[in-house]
Amino acid sequence: MARLGTETAFEVLVKARALEAQGRDIVHLEIGEPDFDTPENIIGAAVDALHKGFTHYGPSAGLLPLREAIAEYVSETRGVSVTPDEVVVVPGGKPIIFFTMLALADEGDEIIYPNPGFPIYESMINYVGAKAVPIRLREEMDFRLDVDELAGLINDRTKLIIMNSPQNPTGGVLEKKDIDGIARAIGDRNVMVLTDEIYSRLIFEGEHHSIISVDGMKDRCILLDGFSKTYAMTGWRMGYGVMRADLAGSIARLMTNSNSCTASFTQIAGVEALRGPQASVEAMCAEFKKRRDVMVAGLNKIKGFSCRLPKGAFYVFPNIQQTGWPSKKLADALLEDAGVAALSGTAFGDFGEGYLRFSVANSIENIEKALERVGAWASSNL
Ligand SMILES: Cc1ncc(COP(=O)(O)O)c(C=O)c1O
């Protein structure tokens, strides 16, 4: 257990709530979840499913109608042919990370993962006793990874490469040329790829590209996607993996051993999410883009802060090196002195030092309030 890490966002949330309990006013920009409600048609489908008796166990891999809808959706959006036996439905995107590591990694295997990156990757790599090999994401490359650097990290012990685009925490988005380069760097080695595409529908500039679409790569990929971010369904706990049918069978068996199955009525709502109207997804994405613009413009006016325009997801990742403060200390001070909850870049790995992560999953009004407070703090403390 000593090797298992955590997700700091949940800890900062607890700390912020404790301050609120003392009467402080806190602007929450720490947590990575849409502040919108789940669209009404999806809620309606879940309520209807409850009344229709979807209150029992279902197959560990997921209900067939949902696996069919996912197979169709992934086939269309990624331009590959996916069948329902290549889909496993799980409670959230996270379990795909957990199960993939359990299924594929042994002690001594090497796993390459983005740093700064979603902290659960490094935590789980360490937990299963594999060697965590970071690939550094650099600001000057808009936080896309350097393909030559990646090629230099791959060796005979490399078992898995984790990719995440659009990326948490930087908002970086991989381009087609990056994806093709990564596939070339892997070549015909026996290396699997976990491609975390949970933010695939939250892109503000350019298009989403997936390595699963590259010729010859589909059988090496475990694609992670889900409902949490796209349809504002974080609390529903539903996500999925798309992978070779034999591996899908193994992951389904891990589901049998852990959760038995994902809640049945939520899966019926998942079919509605994928097959129903998509206007709410577009509206949320447009709103996140507006907020991103306000946040980045505002941060760039604050002493010591400089921020690139992220191309996707709902985070901004300003460089704070000019403040002269270490990231964690600065995040703590902003929470305690200014009442703004943000995360230290180091919550996402060692290469996050020098940065903070602000989530823009909050109203423009609150974002402006946060900017004012951070600006005032910087004027009097820097
Ligand atoms: C990159 C990334 N992958 C996976 C997840 C997990 O999503 P879920 O809440 O569906 O488990 C998150 C959530 O923050 C994330 O940022």
Which pLDDT does position 7 carry in this prediction? 86
For 315-327, write each residue's pLDDT tens digit. Answer: 999 999 999 999 9
Q: Is the beta carbon of 118 within 6 A of some atom in ligand 1?
A: yes
Q: What's the CATH fold of domain 40-275?
A: Aspartate Aminotransferase; domain 2 (3.40.640)
Spacing, Cα 207 to ligand 1 middle (Å): 20
pLDDT bucket at 33, cuts 50 / 70 / 90: confident
Homologous superfamily of 8-31+279-381: Aspartate Aminotransferase, domain 1 (3.90.1150.10)
Best of 164, 167, 198 for a ligand 1 pocket test (most atoms within 8 Å of beta carbon): 198
- Look at the block and give the residue holding tokens 């036996």: 85
CA–chain centroid gap for 266, Å, is 21
Query: pLDDT digit string (tens) for 214-229?
Result: 999 999 999 999 999 9
Domain chopping of the chain, boundaries = 8-31+279-381, 40-275
Residue 225 to residue 96: CA distance in whole angstroms: 9
Residue nearest to ligand 1 atom 14, measured at CA: 32
Q: Does residue 59 have a pLDDT over 90?
A: yes
Q: In the chain, pLDDT over 70 holds for what percent of residues? A: 100
Task: Give the pLDDT of residue 32.
Answer: 85
Strands (E), 231-359: 239-242, 315-316, 340-341, 343-344, 356-359
Residue nearest to atom 16 of ligand 1 (CA): 168
Whole-number Å distance, alpha carbon 194 to ligand 1 midpoint, is 13
pLDDT at residue 10 greater than cutoff 90: no
Given the structure tokens 């409850």, which residue do they identify? 50
Overall average pLDDT of the 170-174 stretch: 97
Report the percent of the chain where pLDDT is more than 90: 97
> What is the tens place of the pLDDT at every residue in 230-244?
999 999 999 999 999
Residue 135: beta bridge partners?
114
Across the range 110-126, mean pLDDT stands at: 98
d(CA 119, CA 79): 30
| DSSP bridge pairs for 110 | 131, 158
Could you read off the pLDDT of 38-53 as tens digits, one per residue?
Answer: 999 999 999 999 999 9
Please write the tens of the pLDDT for every residue from 282-318: 999 999 999 999 999 999 999 999 999 999 999 999 9
pLDDT number for residue 84: 98
- Quote the tokens at residue 377: 């703090």
pLDDT given for residue 317 in this prediction: 98
Flag the least confident range among 3-7, 249-253, 322-326: 3-7
Average pLDDT in the chain: 97
Q: What is the pLDDT of residue 31?
A: 86
pLDDT > 90? residue 250 = yes
Would you place residue 111 in the very low, low, confident or very high pLDDT band (cuts 50, 70, 90)? very high
| Strand extents, DSSP E, 30-154 | 87-90, 110-115, 131-136
